[in-house]
Amino acid sequence: MTILVTGGAGYIGSHAVRQLRAEGRDVVVLDSLERGDRDALLGAPFVQGDISDSSLVAEVCREHGVDSVIHFAAYKSVGESMTDPAKYWRNNVQGTVDLLEGMLAADVRRIVFSSSAAVYGNPDSLPIREDAPLRTENVYAETKAVMERVIHWYGQTHGVRWASLRYFNAAGASSDGVLGENWDMSTNLLPLVMKAALGASGPVKVFGDDYPTPDGTGVRDYIHVEDLAIAHSKAIEHLDAGRESITLNLGTGRGVSVMEIIRATENTLGRAVPYQVVDRRLGDPATVYADSRLANSVLDWRAKKGLLEIVDSLIRRYNEHREQHESTES
């Protein structure tokens, strides 16, 4: 049977598609290409369209023999969600309802959902467990929390079985440099650090150096995108085996500070990373990292790659991209 991957032409989605195909699974991708890249699919079966088109979802599911869905399709910019919240409610929340309705029309009742640790907000204690209170601090995070609830209630009312994967800070690129984040669009820290180091931008902004952390900068749990891709595959296996619906954290269980990232990049590249300390951002917690023991036991999964592997993969991706660009120009 086939897995439908929504948003599969995006950063994390494309890595998941590649992982599934490497395992010999049949995949079809549904993506609007508004923020995705068809080239990132590496030839995977593809349908251009929107998850809000329930009829199209049902048609794709029937035509390709879909029995499970991995749902990545969502807007994810915190800042944009606060200036244009309606866009996020419509795409993320209503789009998920429409997707589920399309699935049901084709009798597809298994879904792995790409959620986010942003649902936890400022945690009371560390590491963060799945039973921690949800304290969303922006519209993006709230849409992720609501999407989880929507999927849960479709489970209660229509027998949909699901896995909601709350992952922490996705980072890195494919080990061979073929796939990676679009640095032109990304607001994530590691691409910004890499761009600053390579002279492709101005100094990277460090939001606060007076936190109660060892070096004063914010600490987060950075998880390699290939580890995330494997976790999504294992979540499909979990549902395929008829096991219960579940919510899981995906992280390394270790926090890394902004300055640790800058220093690791400097050491790897052998050059300085220009940076500028600016005021803290409102609502940013000092330290966030995951308790992923439940995913370790339920999925037999754990993150295997750390900060050095993330930095190395980003450099490899940059070099691969540069060589392709130079080859095209010549």
pLDDT at 64 over 50: yes
232 phi and psi, to 5 degrees?
-65, -40
Query: How large a percentage of the chain has pLDDT more than 70?
Result: 97
pLDDT at 186 over 90: no
The pLDDT score that the predictor gives to residue 183 is 79
Strands (E), the chain: 2-6, 26-31, 46-48, 66-71, 110-116, 161-167, 169-171, 204-207, 219-220, 222-224, 246-250, 256-257, 275-278
Structure-token pair, residue 287: 């330290």
pLDDT in tens, 88-137: 999 999 999 999 999 999 999 999 999 999 999 989 999 999 999 999 99
Angle among Cα 266, 267, 272 to the nearest 5 degrees reads: 25
pLDDT in tens, 244-298: 999 999 999 999 999 999 999 999 999 999 999 999 987 788 999 999 999 999 9
CA distance 76 to 187: 10
Which of the residues are catalytic?
140
Q: Which of 55, 65, 73, 72 is nearest to 28 (CA)?
A: 65
Instruction: Enumerate domains of the chain plus CATH numbers.
Output: 2-170+224-250 (3.40.50.720), 189-220+253-290+305-329 (3.90.25.10)
H or E segment and range at residue 87: helix 85-88
**Would you say the pTM of this structure is higher than 0.85?**
yes
Mean pLDDT computed over 73-102: 96
